[in-house]
Every structure is written in C-alpha cells, then in structure tokens.
Chains A and B, each alone.
Chain A
Amino acid sequence: MSLELKNVEKKVGIDTHIHLTNLKLEKNTINVLLGSTLAGKTTLMQIMAGLDKPTAGEIWFNGENVTGKEVQKRNCSMVYQQFINYPNFTVFENIASPLKITGIKSDEIKERVGKVAELLKLSAMLNKKPDELSGGQQQRTALARALVKDSDLILLDEPLANLDFKLREELREELPKLFEDRDCIVVYATTEPQDALMIGGNTATLLEGKVIQYGKTLDVYSKPENLTSARVFSDPPMNIADINKNGEIFKIDNNNVEWKSNLKIKDGRYKIGIRPHNITTYKEGNNSVEINGKVLISELSGSESLIHFTNGKLNWVSLSNGIQSKNIGEETKLYMNIDEFLYFDHNNRLVNHG
C-alpha cells in the first residue's frame, strides 16, 4: 500500500496553492507535513483525501489511479484543528457514525467503539454529548471517529493546535502509539518543528505550496538539503550568516568571529546555519568558538533561556539550558558549537553532508 502524488499541481484562479509536487508515502508510516500557515498543508491533505481535486497531475493509491474518486469511496478519515463532532450525538454515537453507513452489525459496532474508546480514555463518557466534554476529550472523540473504521489513510490537520499546552503534550505523546500497529498511512500536518521531532516517522518540509524536502524526520532535521528546509525545520528561527572560507580559516563577514576546520570544501563564500541551541552561554562539544554579543532581550522559561543578541550587523538567537539571566544591553560572551554548523553554497544547498 502506498499513496503517490504524481506531478500534482493546484491552482485557484491566478494563485498557485500547490506547485508541482511529487511525493510517495509508504504503508505503515507516519508522515508529517511541516510548514507555516498557508504553506499548503491543508490543501495537500484535501487533495490526498479526495476532498479537493488537483488542477494537474494524478493521485495513485495502491497502484490504482484515484484522482477523480470521491472521498466516501476512498476509505480515509480526517481529524481537524477544530473539534468536529456531531453536536447532538453522544460520544458513542459519534464514534460509531462512520461505521453505521458501512452496514456493520450493531454487536460489532459496540465492540469496536468500546475498544477505541478505551484506547483514547473515553470509556467513562460514552453517553455524554460533545458540548459536555473538555476540549481534549472532544478532540479524543474526533480521533476515535477517525480510528474506528480501519481507514487506509488517516489525515490529521493540526489536531493539537486548539488544545492548551498540557493537553497538547499529553495527546502528542499518545499519538504515535495509536497508529503503531495499524495497516495504514498517517499524514500529520503541523506548524511546529517540535511536533515533527516527537512524532518521528517521515517529514516533508513545505514552504509556499512547495514540498522542499521529504525523508526520515531525523535526516531532514540533521541534514536539511537546503537552507529553506533548514529554516522551516527550526524553531526558534535558525541563525544565518555569510562567511568566507580561505584554507582552514572560516570567517563570518562583518565581525571578528573565525574558526579553523578541516572541512573539505572549496575556498570561497558560503552561508552558515546555526540552530539556536548550538549557541550557548557555556562551552558545549569539543570544538567551540566564542562570539561576543550585546543582549537585546532574554526570555527565561525555567528549564531554558532564550537570549537574543546583536553581533556585527546581525541579530542572533541563542538557547541555553537552565536560567541564564542577562540584562538588556549587557555585553556577553557566548559559545558556538562548530561541529553542528550547517554550510550552504551559493545555491543554498547543504555542502557538509554527514
């Protein structure tokens, strides 16, 4: 089983919502679509489901061209950012709703709903109506509706976005387990890089209707093919600077930060990408280089400290462990972990693969 988008394009009027896309999702995988709002995640999902038709290209499912096939005949289910349940059905009736149309016997419906409800910790509230539940429970009900019918394709469109922090953490931990031994393809859209890392599986980075990179989540994170993909997959935003390489000496433009490395790339000009957690107030790793900065703002969360500072003409973001209290305007010294630098050439392509 696989889902394949072949040369898919979606235009609405003169706007292109999805640029030419080729994507192949394999069976028993969780696939994260990672990108900001309006990156085309929802459109792509609707095309996958058959809720929307591409203006060009084909969708193949299991070796069958399903481009024009209606959503009801595709055996897929979808969970939305909003908690979508039938308002005057009980939780039981809601979960059972996708099964009723298929003509399954009521005994079996009862059994299956019972199982899914237990999995999602809803057993105690089967007789309640959605508006009597908390947001988290409403979303669990919606998830149960998606899981109950053995779909081939399960689409989750930012399912955690409307939940408060604690419920989000809780459900995010459970999610990968829910799909573990299911014979289906899961697609999960999110704006948050952290979601992708926690869910694992595969990730496709998206920007402005284009799929930038698709691969194993950790690969996409640690070896972004290009600068765009790296930027999409970094929160807080990645630090980017122009550098010059001459022999073993690497130097950032417009300031005095320089380091030595035996990285085998041609001399010349590059861009480096440094994730905020690779700039810290303490030394980390074997090779680090100092950078001086003037603190713009520091945000403390308790376990982490986010310090924004300026150096040269650039603004930098650093992320250190623990509480690193800094005053605004303070001159401070930080350390960058050289081994974690990402080098991009003039085409913005990554040059230091592994």
Chain B
Amino acid sequence: MSNVTGWTGKMLRVNLTTGNITTEDTMKYKEFIGGAGIGYKVIFDEVAQGTKAFDEENKIVIAVGPFTGAGVPCSGRTNITSLAPTNPYNAVTDSHMGGNFGPFLKFAGWDAIILEGASKTPVWLKIEDDKVSLEDASHLWGKGTVDTSNELNKVMGKEACIASIGQAGENLIHLSSIVNSVNHSAGGHGGVFGSKKLKAIGVRGTGAVKIAEGKAQEWLKLNRYMMTDIIGANNQHVVPSTPQPWAEYHNKGSRWTGQPALFWGAAEPPVETGECPQGNPNKVGLRTQKAIFDLGDVAEDRTIKMGGCHSCPIRCQSNLKVPELEKYGLTPYAASTCIGFINPGTVMNVNWRGTEEELVIKSLGSRLADDYGIWSNYGQLGRDFRYVLNSGKFKKVLSEEEYNSIPWDLAESEDPAFLLEFYRRIALKEGEFWKIAQGPYWLDQEWNLGDEYWTGYGNNVWSKMAFPKHHSNEAGAQVGVLVNIMFNRDANSHTHMNMIGAGLPLELLKEIAGEVWGSPDAFDEPQNYTPMNKYKAKFAKWSLDRNFLHDSITLCNWVWPMTVSPSKDRNYRGDTALEAKFFSLATGIETSEEELDLAAERIATLHRAATIKEMATIDMRNEHDIIPEWAFTDAKNPDAKPFTPGTVIMDREDMQLALTMLYKEYGWDEKTGAPTRATLERLNMKDVADELEKLNLLPS
C-alpha cells in the first residue's frame, strides 16, 4: 500500500448499528477507479435486492477518486452513492457535492466511507486523520446545516470540513440533501443519512495527496498546458458571451461572461473581470461572472467575489451581498450557483426578470434550502409546486385548516416571506404540504396528479422513472434522450451539453465531432436534427462514459471533458486525453485514453447491472428506458414533423433504433438493453454476471 499514489489506499467502513469502525484496502476497487465506481460496486455487492432507501440494510458510500485533492483543475467533487428514495424502485443513484469535503477526506487519508446499519440515537462521525469516532449528535438534531457546521467547527477547529443534513434529511423528506461548507450540496440522499440517524461527518486532514514519484515537473507542465491552452469557462464554454476584439466568436448563452467594465462590484475595491483571453492562466478565474448569468445585471454590484470548489480555477459560485436578508433573520450574504437560485424563482414565479426583487427572492430561497437541506431536484420542486398550485389541487389535497393556514397572498404578491413558509413546512414535515417534496412519482401516488402532469410539455417530468429531464432532446436530439434514459435520477451528465453549448460555429463543431466520434454526422445543427446513425450512438455512449468517469475519478462534469478549447492556434480542438494524462501522473499507472474509457464503460455497465438487480427485470427497453410522451409532441408547433428545421420532436421508430444502437455500442442485449455475460466478462465483471444469473437477470 505504501507505493499507492493518487489514491490513499484506505477506506473506512462504519457500522452505525454496532458502532464498529474498520479499515479496508481501496485497491480492491481499483478497476472501478473511485467515487461512483466504488459506490456502485458496494451497493451491487452488499445491498440485497428489494432493499429500500430508508431501510437499515441500505448502505451509503461517500467516495472520491485519485484526482480528488491532488490538484487537478476542477477535481473538488465528492460522490455519494446509495439507493434513491425518489426513484419508483428505489434504484441506485449517486449525488455529488463540490466544496472541500472530498479533498479534506483525502488529506485525512481516506478514499471512501462506507456507512451501513442505523444508529438508534443521533450521531455524527468525527474524522481527524486516522482518528475516527462516532459522537453523540443529540444536541444537533433539529438544527439546520449552518448551525450544525458552526457547532462542529467549534469542536474540530476551522480547518475541518463539515457535511451535514438539515431538518429535511432528519424527517426523511425524499428531496433532501447533504451539505458541506454551508452551500455545497449533494441532492437526493439526505434522507438516507436521516434514516441512519447520522447528522453529520466532520473531517480534518493534515496529510497530502501524493502523485507518482518523479512526476512533479511533468505534472506542472501538464497543468500549465491545460490552464493556458485548453480550459475555457464554466461548462467548458470557449467563447465569450459578448463580442470582444480578441475573440473570433461569441455566444449570448456562454458562461464566459468576463468582459471589460464588468465587475465584482461589492468587492473592496471592486474587481474588474476585464477581457480574459485564452493564454493567460491568471485570468481563467475571472472568466465566469456567474452572478449576472444567473441573476441578471443587477447582481454585478452585489457580487463580492466568485467562489467555488477546492482546486477549481473556474469559480462558478456567486458570493453576494444581500442586506435585505437581514429582514428575515439571516446574515446579509448569499452564495449559490445555477439551480440553487433558479428553483426559488420558480416557486415564486419571478424568474428571469432581472430585478432586485427577484435577486432577493432567489438569495433567500437558496439560503433556506441549503440550511434546511432541501434538494430542488433540478428545479422540479418549484415546477411541481406551480403545477399543483395552478391546477387548484392544493385545495383538494390539503385539509381546510391547513389550506387556510398557508399565506397564499404572499405567494401572489411575490413577497419573499412566502419562502419562509414554503421551505419550513417541507423540512419540518408539517401537515400534508411537505409531500410536494417527495419527488414526482410519490407525489403522484399521493395526490393523483393525472396524465397531464406526466405528458405536459414544459413540466419536464421524465416518465416513468420520474425525474426531471436534464439536457435531453433539446440537447443533441437522440444523443440527449439517450443520455437521459440511462439514469435513475436526472442525468447529471453535461458532456454532450458542454460541446453543444460551447459557442463555436457549426462547421467547427462538426469537424471536431468527426475527429472524436468518427463522423461529423454525430453532431446535429441545433433544432434541426437528422435521423439516428451509429455516430450519434458513439457520441451518446462517450458522453455517458465520461460522466461516469468524472464521478469516479473525481472531476467536475460541468467543466470536463475538454472536447473543445478556446485556442485559435489549435483551431479550437480540445484534448480528450487529458484525464488519462493526469491519471498516469497521479497514480503512476501508465494509462491510455482508451484504457481509461474502458474503465468508464465498466462503471456505466455496473450501474446498469445494479439497476437491473433493483428493478428485478432485464427488460430495460420497456421498463426503464421509456421516453416521455412530451418528447413526441411539439407544443410550439403542433404540426411539426421530426427531422425538419425548428423542432426537436422525436420519432418513435427512430428512437427505438437509437436504443438498439446504444445497446450495441455497449455490447448489451439489443432486445432488452441488459448487459450480457460476454460483455460483463469482457469488462472483467464475471462476479456481477454470476450474481445476475443467480437472480435470473441475465439475457439468454
């Protein structure tokens, strides 16, 4: 183990029923790299078929990879894997958080924590390097994540990172999260912590992550190359959002918002982002002024700085000064990014006005959600609330007393104070209202929302697996749909979307697609797509595999992979081998891009195998990979036909062909979409094949 680099080589196993804490060798999971790979393997091997998310027999795996804490750009992610309460089958999902927790775990000497069993009383897990103990958390139960962090930082010192659940997780709300460093949250598994009476994990590490011996200079050179020539802005957008003298291209939707006369206006003194052209590593951190992207121009003067995760140069998290929050008993600051701001805006129906009032609403909502530990489910919580409200359903499903106790007038008048009611009622499980945060499947079971809820365009629910769509048919047509069908939660896969949204002209993107996936036909013009072909299947598989890789290694899939770059000298080509280059230097195991992609395929196939085991069927095509009805209709243009300009309406036969082609790329059974024994053995997972065969879940 002493020669292990990249990884620490050690994992913790904590049994919350018995209080036993033991150590295991990480390297038995080496072929699964880390993070999600370790998580899926533990859940597949150790959690029996039929187990539910909140059962004592369920396990939850917090794992990182060889890049975490090693200093690879954008590697501060922590992966959390367990059965998901939101999923109709409680099938496996992984949630992810940025911040500092994962790197700190590595500094303490651990690659993963496997949590099993359930405590009878509230506890928290204290990790100080190799000193690990379960501590009483009775005094923390009932507190929000902010107070919990503050209390535990008093115990462990400021250098510790605390990941905790709020009241939502304690009360087993399905849409609950685990939060570290106040506002870095992983959505979906907070209730699993709650079911185990685990309030928090505090970690303080004084060690370092080692890379392979003698590779420091190569590492620095590679890092410099990436920072100078390859990296763009958030989502690997490689052109600025406004025309700028140095830039050949621009794109309004780009997150590269840095430009002359744009400031972090609340910094003292204010900091001008200025132009941030490719080639200057010191300007990378100024490219993404995300506050104005998420909240409009009014956010500029309130931006203290752009923050972000450990070891990330992109800085996509807006840190804002919002004195209006003091009116609600909060400190005058807000920090969040993207959907953390958007969901409260949806609840209050004020999104994208760009007003000060909207900014206050979004800031307040993000603070409350993070403190209570409530997950927005990629904004579905807000959409579900609006759907139920607008359909008049609340009046039918809530008692008269409860209905009348809700200050609907505050919602109507767009008073931010409504959010205090909204989030409290959910987190504290008050009355029946909290059920709005159970996730689409369970919400429908409780309140019978009707067909329109599932099929309505714009409601975004992916039936029947009941998660919100996440860059689906509007993002690469068949490619986006194939990416969405794979998961048991919203597809947190941005590989394809980053390429589509990079901001480069179509011809360049098609050329690059041709080089990466074999033909320019892999890549379609936006909203003008062509029938399915095998290159699109390769694009979809590659997008999925890289996502699984990033969640295992760990890297941020909101930036990686580097399919394109902002470099004119490179003709905007990225470097898809960068992960393999860093992996070789971190671990000392010389690994090619193809070899690392094979490991990613292994993890993707294991995820599929675990899903089959939990759903107890091999018929993935008809039971899991269902495409929602709204994907076959075009609300804007009811007469639109597939394969014509201006629509992303899908064709049913074409999508069945797309499934077949994706299954073929993976070597899965083309009829059912289940992995075959031959494929599992090719991926060195004979044990998985044996287990599935035992359960009669291998295709013949």
Bound pair (A, B): no
Q: Which residues of A pack against B, CB within 8 Å?
A: none
